[in-house]
Structure formats: C-alpha cells, structure tokens
Structure 1
Amino acid sequence: MKVFKYLILFIVAVSCGPLVSYDYEESTDFSKYKSYNYFDDMETGLSFFDQKRMIRAIDSQLTKLGLERKYNADFYIDISCKDAQNRTNSSFGIGVGGTGGNVGGAISVGVPVTNNLRSREVVIEFIDLKQTEKLIWKAITESYYKPNDTPENREEHFNTVAERIFKRYPPKK
C-alpha cells in the first residue's frame, strides 16, 4: 500500500510541471536583439509581490541568455496571467463488486488527488516597438500552484516557470 501512495504522489508531482507552447515571427532575426525592458502599464493579473518574483525570474533567465535590461530597449515584454479552469478531474476510483447467481453489484468512490492546487496560465510576449509594435515572440504556459504557499516556494515556482519558458529561446529556425 505504501508503494501505491508514493506512485500516486509521483504522478501528481510530475503532472504539475509547467507545459509551454511557443510561437514567433519567422522573419525575425533574434540575434539583433540585445536589450529588453517591460511595459510600464502591464496588467499581469498577479499580486504585487508575485509580479516582482516573476520579473526577477525572467530577468535572471534573459541575463543568462546575454540580454541586458535597458531603458530604451530593443524589445519590450508584456506579461499577463489568469487563473485557468482545471481541465481534468484528477481522481482515482476505488471499487468493490461482486456477483453470485443472477445478482451483480458494485460500489465505487472517487478520491481527489489535486491536493489544493490551482492552475495558472502565463502569457509572455516580446514586442518590437521600433517595428510598429510588432509581436516577435510569444510563450504560453500553464502550471499548478498553491495559492497559500510560502514566499520562498512562490519564488522557486516562478524560477521554474521562467526556466522552462526560456528553454527554447531564441527559436531555432
């Protein structure tokens, strides 16, 4: 029974990792972009502190990629987040059944395995203002989070999300 509990815990943990989808303007030469900044009027949908955590996580990843945050940047970043409706009803069933003669019966109970997690969709867009506000790159990710998590765990969550988002930036043509 212990093995079964650990198996369920492992499946929940693995399924909680953020999945990322990308899109970009194919004619864009990403090697010419050396600096970035954020729009002043972003409405991220995050709390004040979570927005700061997300920006720090993005800054860290873009610095690793050799980009510099500047006032008059080559491109600007827009971040938007929203809680997403859970698309799956994560549960497993326990059943008891029997038959004898011409009689059959069954009892089943669904046990939830979501463990108080919520789903959040994060959209990050890179926009080149010098090319009439041309969208050049976009990433969308959905990941699970705990709304009442500690600040340290939230920081780690945003670092993980940013790391996964920028794993395939710049795009390989």
Structure 2
Amino acid sequence: MKKLTFLFIVFFITSCGTIVNYDYEKSTEFSNYKSYNYFDDMKTGLNELDTKRLIRAMDKKLKTMGLLKSDYPDFYIDIQSQDIQSRNQSNVGIGVGGGGGHVGGGVAIGIPVGMNKQTREIVIEFVDDSKTGMFWQAVSESSYNPNATPEKREAQFEALVEKIFASYPPKLEK
C-alpha cells in the first residue's frame, strides 16, 4: 500500500509540470549562431508586462549560453502564445455489481477530482532570414495563475526559460 501511495504522489507531482516539445532543422550548424534579436513586430499573445518578463528571462539565459543580443543578429526570435483553459477530466468511480451467472445490476458514481486549470502554450522560434528560415522551435505548455504577483510571474518565466533551453542546442546525431 505504501508503494501505491508513493507512486500516486510522484505521478501527481510530475503531472503538474511544464511540458516542452522541440523541433529543429537537422542540417543546421548551431555553432554558427552567436547573436540574436527579436522580431520588431512580434505578437506574443502575452500582456506587455509578461512579454517584458519573458524577454528579460530569455536574454539572461541566452547570455549565459554565450549568445549575444545584437542589432545585426545571426538569427531572430519569434514568440507566440495562447491561453488554454482545460477541464479536468479526472474522476473517481465507485461501482457495485453482480455477475457469475446471477442476474444483477450495477451502480457507478463519478466524482470530479480537482478543478479546471489554466494553461499557457508558448512557442519560441529561432529564424535565420538569410538562410534556412526557421531552424529551431520549442513549444511549452504549463499551468499558470493569472492572478499571481509580479514576483511569482517573474520566477515562473525564469523557470520556464530554464526548461525550454535545457536542450539547446540539440545534440545532433552524426
């Protein structure tokens, strides 16, 4: 029983985390990209303050990775996002029934567990206008609280950026 409880707790904690999916152009030589900037006409889908928080977190992380922000960059970054309100479909079923050759009936009760949660999908694309076009993309989905304090939002964006860039540049197979 202890193992079952432990597994349930581990599943619950890991199911609330951020999901990040990556895609990239496999012929890209990532070591050639040393400088970046953002598209001027980005429509991030975030409010202005959250856009600034996300860009600050990205600038900080990219700098630690050796990439420099430049007016004449090697590539541009595009950010898009959308809010998704998902209904929690989890429920607990309790049933009573008969069988084994006997005539019987059954009763089942569904009890919703949890509540609706809001998630935000953020798409970050690296684009080389002079060569290949888009060469790297990360799509993240994470829960968020629209009523969080500015400090909590800042911390959430920093954690999200850490997770997004954990696999950049991708390890290419040779």
| Shorter-chain TM-score range | 0.7 to 0.9
Once the two structures are superposed, residues 12-52 of structure 1 have per-residue CA deviations (whole angstroms, 9 ceiling, x without a partner) of 44212111111111111111111111011100000111111
Distance 1:12 1:148, change over 3 A: farther
Letter in 2 for 1:42: M
Structure 1 gaps of 5+ residues are none
Question: How far apart are 1:96 and its partner, in Å?
Answer: 6.2
How many correspondences in the alignment? 167
Is the 8 Å Cα contact of residues 38 and 78 (structure 1) preserved in structure 2?
yes
Specify the alignment match of 1:110 in structure 2: 111
Q: Do 1:81 and 1:123's aligned partners in 2 also have CA atoms closer than 8 Å?
A: yes
The 1:82/1:39 distance shift into structure 2, 3 A limit, reads same
Instruction: Write out aligned runs for 1:88-107 (5 A).
Output: 89-93=88-92, 95=94, 97=96, 104-107=105-108
In 2: Cα distance, 1:89 partner to 1:80 partner: 25
- Residues 102-146 of structure 1 show CA distances to partners (whole Å, capped at 9, x for unaligned) of 664535142231x55301111100011222x61111111111111
Q: Give the letter aligned to residue 39 of structure 1.
A: F
Distance 1:116 1:104, change over 3 A: closer
Distance 1:137 1:10, change over 3 A: same
Native 8 Å contact 1:117 1:147 kept in 2: no
Paired residue secondary structure (1:147): coil
Compared CA separation, residues 148 and 9, structure 1 to 2 (3 A): farther
Sequence identity percentage: 46
Shift, 1:9, TM fit: 7.2
Match of 1:59? 59
Compute the TM-score of the two structures, normalised by the length of structure 2.
Answer: 0.82
User: What is the RMSD computed on CA atoms of the aligned residues?
Assistant: 2.6
Q: Judging changes above 3 Å, is the alpha-carbon distance between structure 1 residues 110 and 124 closer, same or farther for their aligned structure 2 residues?
A: same
Q: 2:161 corresponds to which residue?
A: 162
Q: CA deviation at 1:92?
A: 2.8
Structure 2 residue ranges without an equivalent (≥5): none
Query: Using the alignment, how far apart are the partners of 1:157 and 1:128 within structure 2?
Result: 28
Residue 149, structure 1, aligned to residue 168, structure 2: no
Q: 1:71, CA displacement in angstroms?
A: 1.2
Cα deviation code 1:57-77 (max 9, x no counterpart): 111221111111111111110
Q: Secondary structure at the match of 1:130?
A: coil
Q: Secondary structure at the match of 2:82?
A: strand
* In 2, Cα distance between equivalents of 1:116 and 1:148: 15
Q: Is the 8 A contact 2:85 2:117 kept in 1?
A: no
